[in-house]
Amino acid sequence: MVLTADAQALETKHLGFTISPHEECAVEEAVRIGGEVVVLTLGPAEAEEQLRDQMAIGADRGILLKTNGEEWDAQSTAAAIVDAIRAEGPFDLILFGNESADAAGFQVGIRVAHALGLPVVTGLKKIEVQGDRVRCERDVGGARDVVEAPLPAVLTVLEGLNLPRYPSVPGRLRAKSKPLAVVEPARPEQRLEKLRLVVPEGQGKQAEILENAAAVVAVMQSLGVA
């Protein structure tokens, strides 16, 4: 991993962008549940591409909370999402990834739920809407905890909830003409204020080459696992 010169971000010159795996499952689940599906993200203008991808798999419209590329902390991200939901909602179900792949704050969905006065259930691997309630399951190491909530509710989900489909070519064509609202919220003072990113030391080992199966089994025996 390579950082920019000011250590504020990853150097992305040679990288592509993608939606986080948990969020990808959230959109897939929303499309499977049915009804009108709205996809929302906070990010730079380029994030429109991810919204179009999600409209290509079946979301009906998109909302881009456009930033100038600076990162927003979880509190200000949640506040901007709450404003957008108040303006565009109400919604029966508000789905989030449990934590983002990059910032991993574990909190935006929960903050949005509190601000809107809605119940929230997190870390879900299964969701069943049953009338005006939702039955949820979360993994707890070899078992599943069952939790129910009345709708409307906020749910945060994990990869494994479903197997997301790939956008089809006709889906991509349809997505181009679906409505996309662009809002530019003001970035408030950051209260979890990023100072810099650091690549931890110790990445990059020199592996010992094992030439044959006998050498592998000898290593297994020395580790006490053979």
Partner 1 sequence: MIVCFVEDDELSAQAVGFARTLGEVRAVTFAGAYQPAAWAKALAAQEAEAIVAAGSDRGNELLAHVGALLDQPFAANVTAIDGDVVTRVRWGGSLVEEARLHGAPKLLTVAPHVHAPAEFDPEVLEAVDDGSPKVLERVEESSGGVSLRDAKVVVSGGRGVGSSEGFAIIEELAGLLGGAVGCSRVVTSAGWRPHADQVGQTGTKISADLYIACGISGATQHIAGAKGAKKILAINTDPEAPIFASADYAVIGDLHEVVPAISAELRRVRG
User: Is 103 an interacting residue with respect to partner 1 (CB under 8 A)?
Assistant: yes
Identify residues 18-37 at the interface with partner 1 (CB under 8 A).
Answer: 20-22
Q: How far is CA 92 from CA 36, 41, 62, 129, 149, in A?
A: 10, 18, 17, 10, 12
- The 158-197 contact track toward partner 1, x by CB under 8 A, reads xxx--x---------------------------xxxxxxx
Q: Distance between the two ends of the chain, CA-based, in angstroms?
A: 35
Nearest residue to 54 (alpha-carbon basis) of 179, 184, 172: 172
Q: How far apart are CA 12 and CA 125, in angstroms?
A: 31
Q: How far apart are CA 182 and CA 21, in angstroms?
A: 24
User: Is 210 an interacting residue with respect to partner 1 (CB under 8 A)?
Assistant: yes
In this complex, which beta carbon is closest to partner 1, that of residue 104 or of residue 173?
104
Rounded least distance, CB 71 to partner 1, Å:
10
DSSP-based three-state secondary structure for 174: helix
Q: Please, how many CA atoms are within 13 Å of residue 132, restricted to the half-sphere of its CB? A: 0
Rounded least distance, CB 202 to partner 1, Å:
10
- The 83-102 contact track toward partner 1, x by CB under 8 A, reads ----------------x-xx
Among 39, 74, 127, 175, which residue sits at the site for partner 1 (rule: CB under 8 A)? 74
Stretch that binds partner 1, among 40-48, 83-91, 168-176, 206-214 (CB under 8 A): 206-214
Identify residues 123-152 at the interface with partner 1 (CB under 8 A).
Answer: 123, 136-138, 140-149
**Maximum alpha-carbon separation in the chain:** 66
Rounded least distance, CB 99 to partner 1, Å:
8
Rounded least distance, CB 52 to partner 1, Å:
20
Size of the site for partner 1 (CB under 8 A): 74
Nearest residue to 42 (alpha-carbon basis) of 184, 159, 176, 155: 184
